[in-house]
Structure formats: structure tokens, C-alpha cells
A and B are shown apart, each in its own frame.
Chain A
Amino acid sequence: MRSLGVLYRRELGMAWGRGGGPLLACAFFACIAALLPLAIGPSPERLAAVASGSAWLALALSSLLSLERLFERDFEDGALDLIALGPASLETVSAVKCLAQWTANGLPLSIMAPVVATALGAPLSLAVITFATALIGGLGFAFVGGTGAALALGARRGGVLVAVVVLPLLAPPVIFGAGAIEAYAAGMGWQAGFAFLAAYCLAAMGLSPFAMAAAVRNALS
């Protein structure tokens, strides 16, 4: 347990150290949101109608940014060898890495999500559910994204490959997350969408560590 804490703190330190990855992801998030009115026109009614959905789309794209370095850097500089010979199984290691990815990136992004949605014209009453869905969804993004990152290990220019592998898998949380907000805004039952989102994330947390560990073992051999 103590060594997992050591690994978790290292991952957090690396995410925040030099270059400030999470800030970059947040800035990217804001840039996409700023482009949206330019693309679909500034009329407030039209923007307000797509605000929550666009915030979710931007969230999914921003979550991809730092995925590449989740495993790739440790693989390139040999640190993954060292980590594989440690006290914890690769499955546990992958899960810890994804949890750190969620804390470092998912958390700041989910704080940004209601801000961006509100700036685009979504009513303030949606802020809480936007934050909650983004937070839970971010957990799924981190684990599914980690699987893509592990699969792309060793591929040259893996970043784009990660995005192509991962984006289709992010469709369900985008549907459930944006759907829950939509339903809440319309005064209908949002619990179903939210529950599906949570179920997706739980499944991702349960299954993807095995996929990640297998992909890492394959890359190391």
C-alpha cells in the first residue's frame, strides 16, 4: 500500500511538474469552447441549446491530450521496466496511474466544465449536474484512455493513434453524460442517464486494468 502511494504521488508530480499538463488541458478546453460561437454563430438561443452538449464534447477531446504520456514516457526511458519489477502487479499499477490521471486532469476539467457551459449560455442551475457528470465521466475517460495509451505503446507517433482508438470508446459516456444534463434541464428524470454513466465508468475501472497490463507486458517483451 505504501509503495502504491509512492507511485501515485510520483504520477501526480509528473502531471503537474514542468509544463503544467492539466493547465494545458484546461486551456485547450477553453479554446474549443471559444471556437464554438465562431463556428455556429453568436446567437444566444442557438448557443444555449448546444451549450451542455458542446461542453461534454470539448471535455472528451481535452481528456485525450495528456493520455499519450501516461505510459509512453515511462516506456521510452526504461522506467516501466523498473515499475514492472516492483511490489505491485501491472494491473494495480495501471489502475493507480489512471486514478492519478483522473485526479490531475479529470478533476480540473470537471471544474472547468460548468464554467464553459455557463459561458456558452447554459443556465446556472445546470452547473452542479454538469460538474457531477463531468467528474464521473472523467473517471471513465481516464481508464478507457489509459487502455488506448497502453495499446499504442511503442508505436511511432502514438498520440494520434491513441485518439483514434479511444474516441469511439468515449461515445457512451458522452451520450449518457450529455443526456443526463439534457433531461435535467427539461425537468425529466436524469437519474437513468447518470446511472448508466456511472455503470460505464465502473465497468471501465474493473476491466481496463487487465487490458492495460496485458498491453504493457506485450510492449515490454
Chain B
Amino acid sequence: MITRLTIENLSLSRGERVLFDALSFAVSAGEAVALTGRNGAGKTSLLRAVAGFIRPAAGRIAFEGAAGELEPEDARAAGLHLLGHQDGLKPGRTAGEELRFQALWAGGDEASIAEAVKALQLEPLLGLEVRKLSAGQRRRTALARLIAAPRPLWLLDEPLAPLDADRRAGLGLLMERHLADGGLILAAVHDLLPIPARAIEIGGGA
């Protein structure tokens, strides 16, 4: 169980280009942090670095639990969700099949899947093929795994973009509940998050 994410003196580069240098901040349990910055500033890369996909050029990313520092691999395998621009849904399968796979793979069970379906009002979509869903419906199906497989750290990349006003508010409620349960949220955003969040600006960009 992750209770704190610490980023110390982190530098990321893609190829020759340095995205940002010496970035330090921490996210504690119950806190939401909104990463802002221009296109290409490195918000997505930072999220992917926290998820362990990109190796930092310098600095470190540490996860702490109640009993001290956690092994990064274990923390990532069981403690975080990364929801990127892509929803990770197969066009040819039904939303229900995809949600079930995503949830069971990430450690959920039938009861939590049912809860997620209710929380995101997915009932009417479950039997539909993903190719027939709108962008917003796809995003909601993907977001469902946050609820269906509870993990403490949510890394969200533009989670709101395809959602309508009501759904944004709905997602805000889910985020508030997650924070109240001791969760952590790190989100890259251009729009404001529907919950109070500490903003951190990521430098540079072009």
C-alpha cells in the first residue's frame, strides 16, 4: 500500500532533448497533484517514469508505505494505475469483456467490478463492442478499472478530455472518495481537475 510518492531531483530526457531538470515534489496519502505545463513539457513522460516505463536520466522516484520504503517493482505491480491517452480497449471486444479483463488482471474481483459498473453508469454499454462506443464512453469504460481494481496511486493523463460536464463532476466525486480512503492522485491536466488539487508546473516545452 503506497502512502507517499517522492520525486527527488528528477531529470528526464527523450533522446537528446532534456524535458526537465531537477524536479522535486512529493504526493502524500489523501492528496491530489495536478501537473500543468505546455505541450511537450514532459507531463506524460513524468507519469510514465513514475510507472516505471521510462528510466530517469538522473534523480529518483521512491514509493513509501506504512512500513517504510517499498521495492519499486512491487509498488508498481500492485499499487498504481496508469491511465494514459489511450484507453487500452480492443475495438473488436465488448466493453464488458474488456472491463472484466482489465479489472481481474489488475487485482479486482466480481464484486468490485459490479461496483465500478454502477459508479460509472456503464450498465447499458457492457454488451456493446468497443468500436461502437464514443470517445467519452470509452474513457468511462477505462476509468472503471480504477474502481474495479482498487490501487492507491492513480496516474491520470488528461482524464477529463473526452468527458461531458456531468461525467466530469461524477469523476470528481470518485476522486474525492479515493482521496478520503487514503489514495494518491497525480494527474496531467490542461483543464482544471474537478477537485481541489495542488498544481505543479513542469518547465520548458516548445
Contact = CB atoms under 8 A, between A and B. Distances in A.
A179 B62 CA distance: 56
Contacts of A73: 90
A164 interface: no
Contacts of B107: 3, 87
A187 interface: no
A217 B54 CA distance: 9
A3 B106 CA distance: 8
Contacts of B196: none
Interface string A79-102: 101111111000000000000000
B95 interface: no
B52 to A, nearest CB: 8
B104 interface: yes
B104 A13 contact: no
A78 B89 CA distance: 8
Contact of A78 (B77, B85, B91, B101): B85
Nearest to A220: B53
Interface string B78-109: 10111011111111110001000110111100
A6 B104 contact: yes
A34 B193 CA distance: 62
B123 to A, nearest CB: 22
Contact of B89 (A2, A3, A13, A77): A77
A189 interface: no
A221 interface: yes
Chain B binding surface, main DSSP class: loop
A157 B21 CA distance: 36
Interface stretch (A14-22, A51-59, A137-145, A166-174): A14-22
A85 B81 contact: yes
Contacts of B148: none
A61 interface: no
B101 A10 contact: yes
B27 interface: no
Given A13-B97, A81-B82, A221-B55, A86 B88 contact: no
Contacts of A211: none
Nearest to B145: A82
Interface in B45-94: 48, 51-55, 76-78, 80-82, 84-93
Contacts of B89: 77, 79
Contacts of A111: none
A7 B145 CA distance: 16
16 contacts: A6-B104, A13-B93, A13-B97, A18-B92, A77-B89, A77-B90, A77-B91, A78-B85, A78-B86, A79-B88, A79-B89, A81-B86, A82-B82, A82-B106, A85-B76, A217-B53
Given A6-B101, A78-B86, 16 more contacts: A2-B104, A6-B104, A6-B105, A14-B90, A17-B92, A77-B90, A78-B87, A78-B88, A79-B90, A81-B53, A81-B84, A82-B106, A83-B105, A86-B105, A220-B53, A221-B53
